[in-house]
Structure 1
Amino acid sequence: MRKLLPLLSNPSHAGGRSALTCRFRCGDACFHEVPNTSDNEYVGDVIASAYSRRSMMRAAAVVTVAAAAGGAVVAQGGSPAVAAPAEGLGAAPGARGKADGARGLRFAPVAPNKDDKVTVPEGYAHNVVIRWGEPILRGAPGFNADKQTAKAQAGQFGYNNDFISLLPLGGAYERQQLMVANHEYTDEVLMFKGYDSENPTREQVEIAWAAHGLSVVVVQEDHRSGKLTAVTRHQLNRRLHTTSEFRLTGPAAGSDLVKTSADPSGTKVLGTLNNCAGGTTPWGTTLHGEENFNQYFANGGGVTDPVQATRLKRYGVTGAASERKWERFDKRFDVAQEPNEPHRFGWVVELDPYDPDSTPRKRTALGRFKHEAAQPRLTEDGRPVIYMGDDERFDYFYKFVSSKRMKKGKSRAAREHNLTLLDEGTLYVAKLTGDSPAEVDGTGKLPNDGEFDGSGQWIPLATGDVSHVPGMTAEEVYVFTRLAGDKVGATKMDRPEDVEPSPRTGRVYVALTNNTNRGKAGYAAADEANPRNANKHGQILELAEHWDDPASDGFAWRLFLVAGDPNDPATYFAGFPKDKVSPISCPDNVAFDPYGNLWISTDGNQLGSHDGLFGVATHGERRGELKQFLTVPAGAETCGPVIQDKRVIVAVQHPGEVDGASVEKPASTWPDGPGKIVRPSVVSVWRQDGRGIGV
């Protein structure tokens, strides 16, 4: 029997994060008041509206039919038989797994550890593809930690790489791919020697501006392995940062709510901030979620107008000086001087990486909140549907359904049309209802039916210029989407982060990272979708749209994983035997491999090990079998996984970000060894015998 692993030594921060990470990534969000103070109904509550009753009746009817057709029900304390499936959530078709694991997951799992390196399974190798500061534009110098400049950083790979997308180049460049990377935030304590947080210099601030944003860089495949190397100074390489031009598009563009003294048109924004996870579209663009943007703005706490103060507080724009003191060098970061500037962040950015001269667009039709991700799928008639999470304790899960169909082909007309797909459609927020509300006691104990599951509805918020939320205009819905979700009673979730629809089944998987405030006095108690009070390990939600139609108004859902140590009775691995899985804590980013397995990266492991990457079977007799594929160095988080046939790519974010660490006192020597500055980097992993990953 596996022993419970010890917890990390700093329980005062969310998950296993260090105070340093909380400080620079999200502005110590966990130490501030939770922005959502609404009194929404919770998952177990009765839905009163006729719209809601229709959704519930549809899901209930399908569940009843499925049970009558022979689905087994697990009694309390009974054997782990397969429970009666909700609509669309029965066992998916797939080949029976072999003794050594499901196809794609046939590797010896990495043991939990605290080694200051990237650890991969036996028989696998890895390399660093690109590090923070490596030149990617023509004329950019090589990295020199002691001679950093803003001009140099603007042509170098940015800091704290998160989301990764790899797109094909094709033709004569079949062994090259176009890599797009998010750069979520900067940690100046680990970037600059002798950094004085109360008195940053202009040069340090401008370097940080240049280190945020996005990088586009061509990578070259080694024909003998899965190794990747960056092609520096390629014509498609690009850097976008805090002073680059972005365009606001869609129904809120040009609104008085987004106009500033520098941009009276309300359509031109400088920069993108705190880009976390994202998505890759079927038409060849990438999507980038602006997450903890609130922390960059100063003096929100001094606003006296009650309407404006409420709006700022709901988004966490509070207090006086900001952590980085950017407001000293650019007035747009001072809410007292530019009250609308925060409204220009918190969007999904769409980038055309194949056109280095294009202006990226912030898509207002997708709503404004702390976007962790934006991953699309298509309806049968070709309309994109985008699933999105708002990464905050007790915030919501959304989707957007476009009113336009994608045009196939590579013609100029098709490409120009497809670049308008995310400007018109309907924005929805999710409301979930459990089917065993009376049996959820906050401990994680399974209900009598053997699963945490139920039905859900998509509540429309706005369509184009039409608001569906009483008391709010459409522009207000898009700019203050959180407040719209509050008004319609959306379900408060445990930090919905990355979202990924399965290419095999269409089911949607949502990473809910943790929420240690769940069940505390004054906060929402456990419910069936968020079944544990003081939830420090998180869970994975799986949902299926009604009739497998992404545009439908309802869905069935269940928890696929309830994370934590398998020896803890308050964990669940889709019914798979818990003595045969790896321990996992704080799921964050998710991705699929070519075989339909879900891969999960973690952020803030609470089980005494470094964060890592895990693969889990989603179908067949091994559904729920979870295996750890790698771990990352001290203080680091695993981000942006891409799982290809012969390689796995991860972004190793904030290595060495441990309390008390600095440039002078590093907590990690990764990736370049002792005496070198710690550098966030992208890593490629491959199988040494040349065969595919996990086969």
Structure 2
Amino acid sequence: MTANTRTDDPSVDLDDIGTNPTSNPSFTDLIAARLSRRRLFGLGAGTAGTALLQACGGGGGAGAAPFPILPPAPAPAPAPAPAPAGPMKLGFNAVAKSLADVVSVPAGYTASVLYRLGDPTAAGVAAYKNDGTDDATTYDRRAGDHHDGMTFFGMNASNKWDAASATRGLLVMNHEAITPVFLHPTGQTAVGGVRTVADEVLREFYLHGVSVIEVNKSGSTWSYKQDSSFNRRVHTLTEMTLSGPAAKTDYLKTKYSTDGSKTRGTVNNCANGTTPWGTYLTCEENWAGYFRRTTAVGSTPKEQASFGRYGVAGTSSAIGNGRELWATVTPDTADNLYGRWNCEVIGAAATDDYRNGPNTYGWVVEIDPFNPTSTPKKRTALGRFGHEGACLGPVVVGKPLVWYMGDDSQNEYLYKFVSTKNWDAADIGGGIAAGDKYMDDGKLYVAKFKADGSGDWLELKLGVNNITASYANYAFADAADVVINARHAADAAGATRMDRPEWTAVNPKNGEVYLTLTNNAARTISTTDAANPRFYNDPKGTSAQRGNPNGHIVRFADTGGDPAAVSFKWDVYLFGARSTASADVNVSALGADNDFSSPDGMWFSQAAPGLLWIETDDGKYTDVTNCMLLGALPGKVGDGAARTITNFDGATTVQQATFVGKAPGTDGLRRFLVGPKECEITGIAESGDGRALFVNIQHPGEDTKVADITTPAKFSSHWPEGGNARPRSATIVITKNDGGLIGL
């Protein structure tokens, strides 16, 4: 779940390039570039069978009701009782694959647009013009772009967190990146690789980050409250406190914070997480590409090793000047709004420039949605990398808390953090102070997957697992150095290189953890192993797609059901594939109603424990279908069997043994939603009663060319407003027409 970095080829992401130089055992080797995988959007809803209705236009605006899908759904009947005990069943007909520019949902469901790019979040802010001319200074009170990871925090009449709330809550979501072509009158203004209009950059600063908005249900309709006192935008200019082992160390000292205690902003917020005390975790993923570093002059070899391992490097003007070219704006402001993105050595000491600026990004950030005046905190104990998310494990009074975290870049790793303090339910509602207790002290681990279906959690700590000053690729100095350079530490420990670890999700029924691995076009037949058993070609038109282009989902169970355990067992839950592929490719025996490619977002329902939602971010199968959301009822680790897969590269045949979960069939996996053209389906949450499902539709129209911005007919999409409107990322809310639980 990443956006294009501005390299010499703007369609290539840093997570597709990879920065891991080690030869640690690979889980799925290097990933191929997800070129042009972003697509445009429309919206539709179910009528008889699977409906594909055109996007509706107009309406909405400041605090207005969401845009309904036509025809409107009938008023819901009284809510039925919760699903009975016993075997759970998917209760919807599968949505067909589609290349239409709409959102398709099953018959009996209605989808509405709730919250779009530019929508105002404060009283007195005008409705979004959506033509690139809105006042840049208002964007700190508007919805950001590229809606992503998301959580619904139910709220009671006393304005306190109530997880069971069915009609009111705070919806908190990430805004990962931007689609620049639609944000300004004619796209970004740059001359010779230099941004020349400061207001354009200010808009972009504000459009990244996080939204906190109050949402309410009236009758069968959900809307957001524009003038709520809880509404808040956290963005690249918001002051953040740094906490944990790296805080107030020399590594984090900058001109802005000479004692290393704080920084400004958060950026490239992808997946998310929560805490049991009721706060939100936003995770910084592809942050490295925003920093300018056209020269390494003045940097020490150790600094250069750190920069290189994280992708803060490059000598070409495009890479070195940073994504969106933020550092190039001149003149700079007195407080270095633009210069802080330049991490070159300029002054005599670190406190004279921003050479350490990148060290203040790449963290898990805690935000208290119930306290709009609170200062977010970057939790350094959880390690610095390309955080895809931070999924909370089972919560048990008297036991440590655990978060599982993927590092979304090719050849990177799976991590977990285990708190030192044991959970005390008295800390519910404790806000940021509770985070200080549980998230600033603990053990950080990285996963090593073994060929026999077992695995080890390797602690990342100075003096153990080869993490020493004598490690050849990086000389570790202290505890702060380890968490700041967690990738180097994982390299040293011998962790398993994986295929761009994306979202993690914990099954509330048994505590098992699921991990999406999106795809891997760099897999070769000689590097297949038990954990990466497939090598094949999945042609897209006349273009070959070799390796493991459709990705898969791994699941694991910590030993003894204890999240603090240092060992686990694993298998492959699902393999992405076309239904028409051979049995050695379509290992999970997917059919037309549930075949998919490139799993990304993933989340278990809390109202219906055991119901898993899987989202895709795909460029491999988009000749057949747009990205999608699938409902699943997974079993458990080991419910399948050992299997041998035959791989063939045109010259050589290799037999590869692996462990495969039970084939899901359509009873266990079914397509619930297909998005419009060129979209990514990402971010998912539910109301406290499970009768409203919130889903994000990210970056509509991203492939529209700058040259076409004055010709609306050439836009790839006009979703969600229709007509000649510029497309906008947005959150939709899905409800069942009979008022029942979603998916069952």
TM range (shorter): 0.7 to 0.9
1:181 aligned to 173, 185, 192, which one?
Answer: 173
- Partner Cα distance (2:423, 2:9) in 1: 36
1:369 is matched with which residue?
Answer: 385
* Amino acid of the structure 2 residue aligned with 1:612: M
- Partner Cα distance (2:283, 2:698) in 1: 16
Deviations 1:364-423 (A, max 9, x none): 000000000001124642321010000001000000000012321467768733543110
- Partner Cα distance (1:179, 1:236) in 2: 10
* Amino acid of the structure 1 residue aligned with 2:699: H
Deviations 1:31-74 (A, max 9, x none): 975300112134699xxxxxxxxxxxxxxxxxxxxxxxxxxxxx
Aligned: 1:116 with 2:101: yes
CA separation of 1:567/1:525 partners in 2, compared to 1, >3 Å: closer, same or farther?
A: same
- Partner Cα distance (2:366, 2:402) in 1: 14
**Conservation of the 8 A alpha-carbon contact between 2:14 and 2:409:** no
1:28 is matched with which residue?
Answer: 12
- Alpha-carbon offset, residue 299 of structure 1: 1.6
**Conservation of the 8 A alpha-carbon contact between 1:389 and 1:396:** yes
1:433 aligned to 428, 444, 450, which one?
Answer: 450
2:440 is matched with which residue?
Answer: 423
Match of 1:506, SS state, is coil
Aligned: 1:331 with 2:343: no
- Alpha-carbon offset, residue 222 of structure 1: 3.2
Counterparts of 1:302-451 in structure 2, within 5 Å, are 302-303=296-297, 305-319=300-314, 320-329=320-329, 330-336=338-344, 337=346, 338-378=354-394, 380=396, 381-409=398-426, 416-435=433-452
- Partner Cα distance (1:316, 1:690) in 2: 48
Deviations 1:247-292 (A, max 9, x none): 1100110111111122111111100000000112221011111000
- Partner Cα distance (2:244, 2:699) in 1: 34
Judge which range, 263-272 or 328-337, deviates more: 328-337
Judge which range, 608-617 or 194-203, deviates more: 194-203
**Conservation of the 8 A alpha-carbon contact between 2:283 and 2:362:** yes
**Conservation of the 8 A alpha-carbon contact between 1:591 and 1:643:** no
CA separation of 1:246/1:172 partners in 2, compared to 1, >3 Å: closer, same or farther?
A: closer
1:526 aligned to 525, 528, 543, which one?
Answer: 528
Match of 1:462, SS state, is coil
1:649 is matched with which residue?
Answer: 694
- Alpha-carbon offset, residue 567 of structure 1: 2.9
1:631 aligned to 665, 670, 674, which one?
Answer: 674
Aligned: 1:207 with 2:212: no
1:455 is matched with which residue?
Answer: 454
2:514 aligned to 509, 515, 520, which one?
Answer: 509
1:125 is matched with which residue?
Answer: 110
Counterparts of 1:75-90 in structure 2, within 5 Å, are none
Match of 1:324, SS state, is helix
- Partner Cα distance (1:547, 1:230) in 2: 43
Match of 1:140, SS state, is coil
**Conservation of the 8 A alpha-carbon contact between 1:462 and 1:468:** no
Could you list the runs of 5+ residues in structure 2 that have no partner in the other structure? 30-83, 160-164, 315-319, 330-337, 347-353, 470-475, 536-546, 637-661
- Partner Cα distance (1:433, 1:466) in 2: 20
Judge which range, 170-179 or 275-284, deviates more: 170-179
- Partner Cα distance (1:209, 1:413) in 2: 30
1:592 is matched with which residue?
Answer: 604
**Conservation of the 8 A alpha-carbon contact between 1:297 and 1:322:** yes
1:566 aligned to 569, 574, 579, which one?
Answer: 579
* Amino acid of the structure 2 residue aligned with 1:28: V
- Alpha-carbon offset, residue 29 of structure 1: 2.6
* Amino acid of the structure 1 residue aligned with 2:311: G
* Amino acid of the structure 1 residue aligned with 2:454: S
* Amino acid of the structure 2 residue aligned with 1:654: H
**Conservation of the 8 A alpha-carbon contact between 2:206 and 2:235:** yes
**Conservation of the 8 A alpha-carbon contact between 2:14 and 2:289:** no
- Alpha-carbon offset, residue 492 of structure 1: 0.5
2:23 is matched with which residue?
Answer: 39
- Alpha-carbon offset, residue 502 of structure 1: 1.0
* Amino acid of the structure 2 residue aligned with 1:314: R
The structure 1 segments of at least 4 consecutive aligned residues displaced by more than 4 Å after TM superposition are 19-27, 30-33, 42-45, 94-97, 410-415, 465-468, 570-575, 620-624
* Length, aligned pairs only: 601
1:161 aligned to 139, 144, 147, which one?
Answer: 147
1:614 is matched with which residue?
Answer: 630
**Conservation of the 8 A alpha-carbon contact between 1:401 and 1:426:** yes
- Partner Cα distance (1:574, 1:505) in 2: 25
CA separation of 1:270/1:367 partners in 2, compared to 1, >3 Å: closer, same or farther?
A: same
CA separation of 1:365/1:418 partners in 2, compared to 1, >3 Å: closer, same or farther?
A: closer
Aligned: 1:137 with 2:122: yes
Deviations 1:334-382 (A, max 9, x none): 1114211011100000111111111111000000000000011246423
- Partner Cα distance (1:615, 1:33) in 2: 31
- Alpha-carbon offset, residue 585 of structure 1: 0.6
Aligned: 1:481 with 2:486: yes
Match of 2:393, SS state, is strand
- Partner Cα distance (1:530, 1:178) in 2: 40
Deviations 1:516-562 (A, max 9, x none): 12239xxx922322323422111111000000000000000000001
1:218 aligned to 207, 214, 237, which one?
Answer: 214
**Conservation of the 8 A alpha-carbon contact between 1:373 and 1:498:** yes
1:441 is matched with which residue?
Answer: none
- Alpha-carbon offset, residue 475 of structure 1: 1.1
2:259 aligned to 250, 258, 265, which one?
Answer: 265
TM-score (norm: length of structure 1) = 0.81
**Conservation of the 8 A alpha-carbon contact between 1:394 and 1:492:** yes
Match of 1:403, SS state, is strand
- Alpha-carbon offset, residue 692 of structure 1: 2.0
Could you list the runs of 5+ residues in structure 1 that have no partner in the other structure? 1-14, 46-93, 436-453
- Partner Cα distance (1:412, 1:657) in 2: 40
Judge which range, 653-662 or 635-644, deviates more: 653-662
Aligned: 1:152 with 2:138: yes
Match of 2:303, SS state, is helix
